[in-house]
Structure 1
Amino acid sequence: MTETKKYVRILKAKYASSWYADKIGEVFEVEREANLYTVRRGDESLTAIRKEDAELIVTEKRPAKVGERVLITDKYGTSGEYKDGDILTADLCIGHAITAKEVDLTIIFHSEYEVIVNNEEADEMENVEQRYDTAVENAREAIEELRLAAYAKGFEDARRELTATAPVEKTAQERRDEIVEQAKADINELKNRNFYEVPDADNFYNPYICTAEFIVNNQKRTVVALLRGANTSKVYARGIAKAAPDDCFNEHIGKAIALHRALGLEVPDEYLNAPQPTEVRVGDAVKLIHNGEVIDEYLVVKIEDDRVYDHNNTWAPKRTLKIIDDSRTEVGEWL
């Protein structure tokens, strides 16, 4: 039986801060597949791609038949008619090469491509093509209806409705909130069937099946991830995250960083360079600063207008506070 390989093409990035947000359309070979696709970047580091952000392409290494789609994986030469990652259709097979209908009079050697046997996006194309004529006709009718409605409603009103409002750039707090939610999701999405897989250096295809133990120290601003064998409790891998002295500590981001390191995955840049929080919220740990000196540290239990209260009902104005921990999980260490 011919061996198959898996690739993914980036379709989108759920988070603008994802490492592949600027790599839409690029193709990467899949190393492992669980709740996420694990791939290698150009520098050979392992990293993850969310399944909903990519299309899966399954290939076989063999000569293509007429009509089969092929994925270019090892382009020969410097001609610009096609490139690695392109999907082409074989229309002529000649000895050790093929030609493709998408590029005119170009010979593509068998060594340059792999035959696609399953492609999520391409499998949908037939239905798309069948619906094309109907969609075009419907579009014509919709445009005409819209034109008539625009005249009826008045040009200026229609112009305001049809002109898209320029997107508003997210604030630093909104970006941080998004990154925290992404970090929380990663803790589960890096699992494969409820467990984490730690590669065995002697047997890559038979990884250790592990559970994760997280040791969080809010005072030292560290998170340690220990990956223990599900049946043995032996620690097979560990990862450590520590917040920089001037950064706000967040347990969820710390867990995601430590877990990536324990799994041998590259840590997403958005975790390492998350913007600092700007909005004080209930559950945050804050420093009270006066004339450049730290007067107190406490947990926020209530906010009324500009007043931020601690558990003793003592308050300070927001402008005098610096957020040092926005995990908002356990409060005991700050009371």
Structure 2
Amino acid sequence: MKNKFRNLNEKAKFHLDQLIQEIHHVAYNEGYEAGKLVGAIDSAEEINDKWLAERKVKSANQQRAELIEMAKKFVKDAKDKIWGGILVTMPNNEVKICNAEFIKKGNRTTCLLKGQHTNTVFAVGRANCVKGDVYNESIGEVISLFKALKKDIPVEFLEAVQPSEVVEGMIVEGIYRTTSYEVERFYNEPKLNGEYGRAFFAKGFVQNQWVGEKQVKVIDDTNAQYEVSTCKN
């Protein structure tokens, strides 16, 4: 497990170092003041430090929660901190400053990079959730953004750790029936927690109706209420 995290950390560092170098290169070529780089560089270095820091082994859910937060931060910083937009290099090496628009349809996320002043679409990237994987809006956004920019996608997003435990806010689907629903709360009644795992109430259920977590599979954790503060020893 430690070797796996070390490899991911090294790859994350490589991608972030490339991002920092590209920001410097474009800025100097375009004549922007160095002070305008501070926000973007600090953001990239914060993510870099996060992955390189010594970490205890965490549960799959905790690792998933960290990855989702990293994806959110990466997209937000790319949209908001690099001169108010995202830099797109055209085939003729002309640089366009674009806004990112994300379109979700089912398990597909499409990223449109549009010129800030023209609204012209200069680049498109699409991310499809692999069958059997859990869909997450933020991970879809960061993958589609990398594709639109024609950059190598960090393996930690392509091979995202999957959640191992059902939590509130997840969209789940019955194993035996393809009915999906959102987990609203777990029952605090030990007598219900039997062979089907912890019993939960879902949105749309009638009073006292419940399903066990072993009777469902997670299909979407975009709004999952993860707990990330406790580490496994």
- So what's the TM-score if we normalise by structure 1? 0.50
Structure 1 position 207 matched with structure 2 position 99: no
When you count strand as a share of all residues, which structure comes out higher?
1
Q: For residues 186 and 223 of structure 1, do their structure 2 counterparts lie closer, same or farther at Cα, with a shift above 3 Å needed?
A: same
2:191 counterpart residue number: none
1:280 counterpart residue number: 166
Question: What SS does the aligned partner of 1:224 have?
Answer: strand
Structure 1 position 173 matched with structure 2 position 41: no
Alignment size in residue pairs: 184
Structure 1 position 255 matched with structure 2 position 141: yes
2-structure distance, mates of 1:194, 1:233: 15
* 1:1-335 matched pairs, under 5 angstroms: 17-20=8-11, 30-33=21-24, 34=37, 35-36=39-40, 50-52=44-46, 53=48, 168-191=56-79, 192-202=82-92, 204=93, 206-217=94-105, 220-289=106-175, 293-305=176-188, 306-313=198-205, 314-328=209-223
Structure 2: runs of 5+ lacking an equivalent:
1-5, 25-36, 50-54, 189-197, 225-233
Offset, 1:312? 2.7
Offset, 1:299? 1.3
2-structure distance, mates of 1:28, 1:295: 42
In the alignment, residue 186 of structure 1 is paired with which amino acid? F
Q: Note if contact 1:249-1:327 (Cα within 8 Å) is conserved in structure 2.
A: yes
1:8 counterpart residue number: none
Compare 309-318 and 170-179 and name the one that shifted more: 309-318
In the alignment, residue 31 of structure 1 is paired with which amino acid? E
Q: Note if contact 1:211-1:230 (Cα within 8 Å) is conserved in structure 2.
A: yes
Q: For residues 187 and 295 of structure 1, do their structure 2 counterparts lie closer, same or farther at Cα, with a shift above 3 Å needed?
A: closer
Percent pairwise identity: 29
Q: Note if contact 1:250-1:325 (Cα within 8 Å) is conserved in structure 2.
A: yes
2-structure distance, mates of 1:213, 1:21: 25
Deviations 1:250-306 (A, max 9, x none): 0000000001111122111100111111222222110112xxx33521111222242
Q: CA RMSD in A?
A: 2.9
When you count helix as a share of all residues, which structure comes out higher?
2
Offset, 1:17? 3.5
2-structure distance, mates of 1:212, 1:235: 10
Q: For residues 28 and 193 of structure 1, do their structure 2 counterparts lie closer, same or farther at Cα, with a shift above 3 Å needed?
A: closer
Q: For residues 232 and 28 of structure 1, do their structure 2 counterparts lie closer, same or farther at Cα, with a shift above 3 Å needed?
A: closer
- So what's the TM-score if we normalise by structure 2? 0.70
Q: For residues 241 and 22 of structure 1, do their structure 2 counterparts lie closer, same or farther at Cα, with a shift above 3 Å needed?
A: closer
2-structure distance, mates of 1:214, 1:284: 21
2-structure distance, mates of 1:245, 1:179: 19
Structure 1: runs of 5+ lacking an equivalent:
1-14, 38-48, 55-166, 330-335
Question: What SS does the aligned partner of 1:188 have?
Answer: helix
2-structure distance, mates of 1:201, 1:194: 22
Greater radius of gyration (CA): 1
Q: For residues 16 and 181 of structure 1, do their structure 2 counterparts lie closer, same or farther at Cα, with a shift above 3 Å needed?
A: farther
Offset, 1:189? 2.1
Select the structure with the greater relative contact order (CA < 8 A; seq sep ≥ 6).
2
1-structure distance, mates of 2:184, 2:111: 29
Question: What SS does the aligned partner of 2:102 have?
Answer: strand
